[in-house]
Structure formats: C-alpha cells, structure tokens
C-alpha cells in the first residue's frame, strides 16, 4: 500500500468537506477505517493523545455512515502494511512514512474505494473540545506566571512571556474532553534539580500552603484574558496531517505561541468564563490542574 499523507482542514475550524475514498482498512474486530485524500476530522494522535478524536458521519455511495472514532495510521517507507495507533513504531511526522487519518466505522462500507465522499464532523462536540484545548494553553501561561517566583534559577526554557516554562518542564499528561482539560504535572527530583521549589524557603511558603493563593492568581489572570476577547489562530505551514502547526493568541501582555496539533476557538470572547482548580497530591509528587471553560 502506498498512500499520500492525508490533507486536513480542521486547524482552520472546518467541520465539513468533500474528498475521495483512497482505502478501506478492516480492523479485524468488525470495524473498518476509511482513508480519504482530505478530511476535516481531527484524529487521535498516537504520540501525544491529548485531544480526543472527532466523531461525525461519512456519506458515500448513497449511505450515511457514523464515524465513531478517528485514528492516526501510517505506512512505512517501503509501503506495505498500514499500522494504526500504538502499533506505529515512529513519532508522527517521520518524513519517510505516509501519515493517514482513519475514519472508524462500525460496519463495512463496501466497495467504495475511488468513490466521492462527504465528511461531516459533530460540530457541537468539536466546539466543546476546542474550548477545552484553548483553555489548556491559557492555563499553561497563567500557571507559569504564578509559579515563576518558585524557581531558584533559570531552568533554560521560558514561555512566550519570559516566565520559566513550568508547564512543559513538569508535564506528565494532558487530556481534554467536552467539559474540561486535565493537566498533571510531576514534581520530582528532576524538576527540583532544574530549580523548582516545592518546600518553604525564605519568603515563600510551601507549595501546599500557597495553593489557594496560586489558584486565585491563575483564575484572576484567566478571567482578564477572557474579558479581553483576544483573537486565536492556528499557524498552518501546509495542509498535511504532519505539518508542524502552532497556536497563537494575541493577549494583552503580548503574542503567545505554543506548538500544537489540535483544534481551537477563534476568539476568547467565545467563552463567558474560564476557571481552574489546582490540587496537590498528599505526598507532594504531583500537581493537577482541571480547567473548565464556559462558552458564551
């Protein structure tokens, strides 16, 4: 099998599209993955599965078929077998591989290769997930700012506003759904060696004692950004699934940029509120931020 990398339109906010069916992949469990030349669907990223896959419908050969999931597939440099998700042995973007979006169906679509297809994403679900993803990036910037005084030295990685990038340095996992984003940060020896302080030192209280004030500071910053109705855009160097995209938001403090392969809101005014809840593990080893957007 030799297929060109799928071209995607979800970074610009598209939820519908038309294309041609290139292949149908049987999973062996009664499900089938349909590969198209172009798609508005966002697939689950096998390397960093933070944003869940889009769902929706494919209409082909006079049938409307439910898309229950959307996965990343890949074909190696020598062609041959199509690998999916965790079976892919390389990171997304390896230029020697073809990278494909598989629209997962619960039924056999039949002999549809070469047929035109109409694709439609569940737009309401996409919008909810996009709000959570935008909130996740804003949380990262606000948390970096609030935790900046807890660094004893420059860790060598700063965010767009010059604050030590706690979010990327401590990140263990990030997951979005239609209600919230949940970010888990590891506060282990590695982070402390880079200069982050968890215990009480000089004028700083221990992180556990400071958590209520930190939460208040983060939420105050988030509220100000939402009120500013800052524009959001995704910079897209090309239509390929593997293109290295980035999130941009013109906040009052300046332009913020974060590498991102997901979908987002177009303006922060699409939110009426954005709040996070910070909790610290009893042994102090993890900090969890659950950030909930409310749409206007």
d(CA 288, CA 276): 10
- For helices 123-147 and 207-227, the axis angle rounded to 10 degrees is 130
Nearest to 288 by CA among 173, 195, 205: 173
- Determine the pLDDT at residue 1: 60
Neighbours of 79 (CB within 10 A): 11
Give CA–CA dist 83/224, Å, rounded. 45
Contact 122, 54 (CB under 8 A): yes
Compute the distance between CA of residue 85 and CA of residue 73 in angstroms, rounded to an integer. Answer: 6
pLDDT at 175: 97
Where helices occur in 51-174 by DSSP H, the ranges are 123-147, 166-170
Are the C-beta atoms of residues 19 and 112 closer than 8 Å to each other?
no
292 DSSP β-pair partners = 275
Residues 286/280, Cβ–Cβ less than 8 Å: yes
Residue 292, phi then psi, degrees to nearest 5: -115, 120
Q: pTM, whole model, 2 decimals?
A: 0.96
Is 131 within 8 Å of 270 (Cβ atoms)? yes
State the CB neighbour count (10 A cutoff) for residue 203.
Answer: 6
DSSP letter for each residue of 71-88: EEEEE-TT--PEEEGGG-
Cα separations in angstroms, 43 against 9, 74, 104, 174, 202: 12, 12, 10, 16, 48
| Residues 103, 25 contacting (CB under 8 angstroms) | no
Among 163, 206, 207, smallest CA distance to 185 is for 207
| Residue 47 in tokens | 């390397």
Q: pLDDT by residue for the chain (296 residues), tens digit each?
A: 678 999 999 999 999 999 999 999 999 999 999 999 999 999 999 989 999 999 999 999 999 999 999 999 999 988 778 999 889 999 888 889 999 999 999 999 999 999 999 999 999 999 999 999 999 999 999 999 999 999 999 999 999 999 999 999 999 999 999 999 999 999 999 999 999 999 998 889 999 999 999 999 999 999 999 999 999 999 999 999 999 999 999 999 999 999 999 999 999 999 999 999 999 999 999 999 999 999 99
Q: Given this model, what pLDDT does residue 92 score? A: 84
Residue 50's CB is within 10 A of a number of other CB atoms, namely: 20
**The pLDDT of residue 73:** 95
pLDDT at 275: 98
Strand 7-8 relative to strand 38-39: parallel, antiparallel, unpaired?
A: parallel
């Amino acid at each position: 099998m030799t297929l060109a990398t799928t071209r995607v339109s979800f970074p610009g906010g598209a939820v519908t599209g038309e294309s041609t069916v290139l292949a149908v992949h049987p999973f062996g469990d009664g499900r089938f993955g349909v590969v198209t030349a172009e798609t508005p669907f966002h697939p689950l990223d096998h390397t960093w599965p933070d944003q869940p896959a889009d769902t929706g419908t494919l209409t082909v050969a006079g049938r409307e078929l439910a898309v229950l999931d959307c996965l990343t597939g890949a074909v190696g440099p020598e062609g041959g077998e199509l690998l999916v998700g965790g079976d892919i042995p390389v990171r997304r973007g390896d230029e020697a591989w073809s990278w494909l979006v598989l629209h997962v169906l619960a039924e056999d679509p039949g002999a549809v290769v070469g047929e035109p297809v109409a694709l439609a994403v569940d737009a309401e679900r996409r919008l909810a997930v996009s709000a959570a993803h935008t909130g996740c990036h804003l949380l990262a910037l606000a948390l970096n700012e609030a935790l900046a005084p807890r660094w004893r030295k420059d860790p060598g990685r700063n965010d767009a506003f010059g604050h030590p990038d706690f979010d990327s340095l401590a990140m263990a996992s990030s997951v979005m759904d239609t209600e919230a984003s949940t970010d888990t940060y590891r506060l282990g020896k590695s982070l402390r060696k880079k200069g982050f302080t968890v215990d009480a030192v000089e004028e700083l209280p221990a992180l556990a004692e400071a958590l209520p004030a930190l939460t208040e500071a983060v939420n105050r910053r988030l509220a100000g950004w939402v009120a500013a109705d800052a524009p959001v855009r995704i910079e897209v160097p090309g239509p390929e699934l593997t293109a290295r995209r980035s999130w941009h938001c013109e906040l009052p403090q300046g332009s913020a940029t974060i590498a991102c392969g997901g979908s987002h809101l177009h303006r922060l005014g699409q939110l009426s509120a954005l709040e996070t809840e910070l909790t610290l593990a009893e042994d102090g080893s993890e900090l969890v931020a659950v950030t909930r957007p409310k749409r206007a």
